[in-house]
Amino acid sequence: MPNAPHSLSSRVHQLLLWKAGQNGTLLPDDESAIRAFRVRTQALGPGEDIVRQGDRPDVAVIVVSGMLARYHTLESGERQYISFHIAGDMPDVQSLLLTVMDHSLCALDTAEVGLIPHQELREAFSRQPALCFAFWRSTLVDAAIFRSALTNNSARASTTRLAHLLCEQYYRARDAGLTQDQSCSLPMNQTELGQALGMSLVSVNRALKKLRADGLVDLRGGILSVLDWRRLQQVAGFDPTYLYIADESEGSRLRLSGRGE
């Protein structure tokens, strides 16, 4: 019985601890508060919605595996992807304080999520400021990513724009320990990339072709392989500051830059 309920939910606590730890310094009390959260888990199929624009959820989602996406649905029915989320991300903590969803959340591939009742979070945050600050901070990093996406989609030319998105995804996956060799999962087709970047499918295809031709990346079957990180970063004008990932540059797991080959 793989992924028995117990082990999955402890994985959720693990991820919560990791995420909170990335966003602040936790005291033992804070950690035990997290461990005390009563979480449910849920499995999702590709394309499945978790919450929809207009919903008023009473739980917060944390990604355990797979990739989730936030998106807006326009009057026209058109879809605009807003952000992408991997293990450890909490794509809708904001629903704790903003009751109505202004966007939807779906799974891009098969995914598992943990669900934490708002009630539990509210109580824990009221009691333990450090915890509150950590989760607040994580939403602030989200916001920084939105800002970056706004600039990316508004001010960068198509190839650069695509390259920047790929940099971001790869860099974040790397931080979450989700890369192997120079590859990570990126379960989106070119249509969806277009809906994220504000470009047509055809433009995405052509931009990708260029990046591929220059030997920077390879993207196929939902797997992104970075062939020349240094140059990709250069082309994209990618500066990861806005991700607010402590890079502990010297001597640790994170040795991204300067690994062009």
Partner DNA sequence: CGCAGTATTGAAATTTCTCAAGCCGAGTGG
Partner DNA sequence: CCACTCGGCTTGAGAAATTTCAATACTGCG
| Residues found near DNA in the complex (CB under 7 A) | 157-158, 189-191, 198-203, 205-206, 208-209, 220-221
Residue with smaller CB distance to DNA, 23 or 190: 190
Instruction: Give the Cα separation of 69 and 51 in Å (integer).
Output: 11
Look at residue 246 and give the partner it binds from DNA, its own copies, none, a contact being a CB closer than 5 to 8 Å depending on partner kind: none
Segment (H or E) for 111 = strand 111-117
Using alpha carbons only, what angle is made at residue 112 by residues 107 and 114, rounded to the nearest 5 degrees?
110
Q: What span, in angstroms and rounded, lies between the C-alpha atoms of 61 and 174?
A: 21
Specify whether the CB–CB gap between 37 and 131 falls below 8 A. Answer: no
Contact assessment for residue 64 and residue 85, using Cβ atoms and an 8 Å cutoff? no
CA distance 161 to 36: 42
From the list its own copies, DNA, none, partner contacted by residue 143 (C-beta under 5 to 8 A by kind): its own copies
Nearer to its own copies, 76 or 252 (CB): 76
CB of 40 to its own copies, least distance (A): 24
Give the footprint of its own copies on this chain (CB under 8 A). Answer: 23, 70, 72, 74-76, 78, 80, 82, 94, 97-98, 100, 102-103, 125-127, 129, 132-133, 136-137, 139-144, 146-151, 153-156, 197-198, 237, 241-242, 244
Report the partner that residue 136 touches, choosing among DNA, its own copies, none (CB closer than 5 to 8 A by kind).
Answer: its own copies
Report the nearest approach of DNA to the CB of residue 193 (Å): 8
Query: Smallest distance from the beta carbon of 123 to its own copies, in angstroms?
Result: 10
Q: How far apart are CA 44 and CA 85, in angstroms?
A: 14
Residue 254 phi/psi, 5° resolution?
-95, 95
Q: Of its own copies, DNA, none, which one sits near residue 82, judging by CB under 5 to 8 A according to partner kind?
A: its own copies
97 binds, among DNA, its own copies, none (CB under 5 to 8 A by kind): its own copies
Of 34, 94, 43, which Cα lies nearest the Cα of 68? 43
